[in-house]
Amino acid sequence: MQQRLQAVTNYLLHRRGPTLRVGRLARGFLISLLILGIPQYVAAASGSAVLQEFFQKTHTITARFSQEVANHDGQVVKRASGQLWISRPGKFRWDYGGNNGQIIVSDGEKVWLYEPALEQATVQPLGQALGSTPAALIAGGDDLSQRFKITDLGKKDGLRWLLLHPKTGQDRGFTALRLGFDAQGMLREMRMEDAFQQQTVLHFEHIEINHPIAAQEFQFTPPAGVDILSR
């Protein structure tokens, strides 16, 4: 870590010049697997360096989340909250609470979307489910700069913001993604905008990085009587 800090300091001194069928709530999951703890030099490193450090240092993540979906007028139309677990590469679990909650689970090979209220589960291969969506940032180790334009927006409301624009114009449902990091380098807020000018906002708390996660969190067996759809 000390060597990385020195490298960043030297740079600053010498530089010159088909998917899962999900609703609005579950759609936020596809981007929220980015949750992470960036090291302390987040304030000095470039946006690309901040995200690259995540791939190198973050292996498991657990967190609580709250989510709001607002329409093009800024009116909140849906709220949700829940718990998430991530284990790189390719394993994750995203639980939405409430009577209409959803559960999304990947064991590293298949992804399940379970909707208890509908007594229905959808399953498909991990690669097909994620495709080129931001969820692939956790499932794999792609170079973000190849698919996204990364802009450092500076600090606002106590957070440092990075803006990611898909180079293709829209990446499986979103046109812009903003990530807000606190002074300790934790991702605390995420804002996704889609082609319909809707915005999904996620807040994260009780984040734990690189703590052991039980294997059963990433396993899913459909309850008896549930309709299973394969894609």
pLDDT tens digits, one per residue of 58-86: 788 899 989 899 998 989 999 989 998 98
Domains in the chain: ranges and CATH: 20-230 (2.50.20.10)
Region of poorest pLDDT, from 27-31, 37-41, 44-48, 217-221: 37-41
Q: What's the pLDDT band for 181 if we cut at 50, 70, 90?
A: confident
pLDDT score for 141: 52
H-helix or E-strand containing 192?
Answer: strand 187-193
Find the range with the poorest average confidence among 48-57, 82-91, 151-160.
48-57
Tokens of residue 20, six digits: 């899962």
Q: Is the pLDDT of residue 176 over 80?
A: yes
The pLDDT value recorded for residue 98 is 74
Q: Beta strand pairing status for 159-166 and 176-181? A: antiparallel
Does the structure show a pLDDT above 50 at 87? Answer: yes
- Per-residue DSSP letter, 219: -
- Higher pLDDT: 124 or 19? It is 124
For the CA atoms of the chain, what is the radius of gyration? Answer: 18
pTM score > 0.95 for this model? no
- Tell me how crowded residue 26 is: count the other CB atoms within 10 A of its CB: 20
∠ CA 35-223-23 to the nearest 5 degrees? 45
Q: Mean pLDDT, the chain, as a whole number?
A: 75
Round to whole Å and give the CA distance between 231 and 227. 13
Higher-pLDDT residue of 47 and 112 is 112
134-150 pLDDT, tens digit per residue, is: 454 555 555 666 777 88
Q: Out of 88-92, 129-133, 190-194, 208-212, which region has the weakest mean confidence (pLDDT)?
A: 129-133
Greatest mean pLDDT among 35-39, 75-79, 191-195 lies in: 75-79
**pLDDT over threshold 50, residue 17:** no
Helix H or strand E segment including 68: strand 60-70
* Cβ-contact 133, 26 below 8 angstroms: no
Nearest by Cα to 130 from 175, 172, 88: 172
